[in-house]
Amino acid sequence: MTILITGGAGYIGSHTCVELLKAGFDIVVLDNFSNSHPESLRRVKEITGRDFNAYDLDLRNKCHVEKVFEKYNIKSVIHFAGHKAVGESVSNPLMYYRNNLMSTIVLCETMKKYGVRNLVFSSSATVYSQKADMPLGEDTGLGAVNPYGRTKYMIEEILFDIYNSDPYWSIALLRYFNPIGAHESGRIGEDPNGLPNNLMPFISQVAIGKLPELQVYGNDYPTKDGTGVRDYVHVVDLAIGHVKALLKVQSSKGVEAYNLGTGNGYSVLEMVEAFEKASGKKIPYKISGRRPGDSPVCYANVSKAKKELNWEAKRGLEEMCRDTWRWQKNNPNGYKKVLNAESIKVF
């Protein structure tokens, strides 16, 4: 029995492949490499000493997706694939709706056709309403405020409707808070295309000298030091959470949402200080205006994942910063300019 990982070459996907292989699962990866690199998969094999196949394909191509289901005895699916940049989704909403929704619909239609009904879906804390009280629980009111977050909300609703039409489905909706960090080997990590949207990759590129200074988006929020507070979670903890969710969907029916965070919030300036300590590098920054769409504070109530998945984050902020720095220092250009690209199959 094989686990199908869509978007498995990406940041969270590649770290999850490592944990699945370490746990003894057989996997097969689908990725169109629009926001990832085959090199990450080569390094997953290097880290784990285990082999697997990967296919360069667009999930919206039903003919190709069906060929994978024909070829492999798939037991469950972990679905990461999708565009994920908030700002880009605001400027190009149709690309987000077409890609994220259509790829999920084709995937679920193919799963249904081949009798595969176990699914772990990569959702996001952006589905929650920004007016909600903290900490955010899974029963908190939903209300995404950008097209990216709305695709995640819509997909959650589609998955609830699929289950309501066929109660043999078993689905876990994993709502990530702020994933950061990297595998302890420093061989895989976050490798954003172009200028990083998110805080931690921006800070690490300032530390390595690729960017001159950090813009702190506002210091007039009602928080301890006026800067935004978020729930940062180590990507390896997050990956382990996917293994736990996979075991859950393989042993029960129904649709359940789970927050994957630490339950702790850190401000932007606390993150800068923590990274300076971990890297020994000074992070120059300038206070600028608030970023449209940002909320002051966002952190999780993580009791449901602890109770039902037997999962909780183990790695603290120092380890998140130390692991991020090791990856960035060893890979100043990420996976780019790597010549021996992984042998990726195509149909």
Bond into 167 cis (ω within 30): no
User: Closer to ligand WQD at the Cβ: 35 or 178?
Assistant: 178
Give the tokens for residue 204: 């690490």
Q: Are 243 and 17 in contact (CB under 8 A)?
A: no
Instruction: Pick the binder of ligand WQD from 89, 151, 170, 178 (CB under 6 A).
Output: 178
Name, in order, each residue with C-beta under 8 angstroms of 317's C-beta and a sequence gap of 6 or more.
232, 266, 270, 271, 274
Q: How far is the CB of 91 from ligand WQD (least distance, A)?
A: 15
The active-site residue out of 96, 148, 176, 232 is 148
DSSP 261-329: S-S--EEHHHHHHHHHHHH-----EEEEPPPTT--SEE-B--HHHHHHH-------HHHHHHHHHHHHH
What DSSP state is assigned to residue 98? I
Question: 16 or 124: whose CB is closer to ligand WQD?
Answer: 124
Q: Please, what is the minimum distance in Å from the beta carbon of residue 289 to ligand WQD? A: 10
Nearer of residues 54 and 229 to ligand WQD, judged by Cβ: 229
What region does 310 belong to: left with phi over 0, alpha with psi -120 to 50, or beta? left
Residues 295-334 that bind ligand WQD (CB under 6 A): none
Phi, psi angle pair for 74, to nearest 5°: -85, 130
Indicate the residue type of 73.
N
Residue closer to ligand WQD by CB (options 46, 157) is 157
Residue with tokens 């498995």: 8
Residue facing ligand WQD at closest CB distance: 228
Restricting to residues 188-217, which ones interact with ligand WQD according to CB under 6 A? 197-199, 202, 214-217
Known active-site residue 72? no
Pairing of strands 229-230, 266-267: antiparallel
Cβ proximity to ligand WQD, 72 vs 217, nearer residue: 217
The CA distance from 295 to 317, in Å, is 21
**Binding to ligand WQD by residue 240, rule CB under 6 A?**
no
User: What residues pair up with 297 in beta bridges, in sequence order?
Assistant: 229
Residues between 79 and 98 with contacts to ligand WQD, criterion CB under 6 A: 84, 86
Binding residues among 118-137 for ligand WQD as defined by CB under 6 A: 124, 126
Q: Pick the binder of ligand WQD from 20, 145, 243, 268 (CB under 6 A).
A: 268
Nearer to ligand WQD, 109 or 137 (CB): 137
Closest approach of ligand WQD to the CB of residue 159, in Å: 17
Q: Which residues are catalytic?
A: 148
Q: Which residues are near ligand WQD by CB under 6 A?
A: 84, 86, 124, 126, 176, 178, 197-199, 202, 214-217, 228, 230, 268, 291, 294
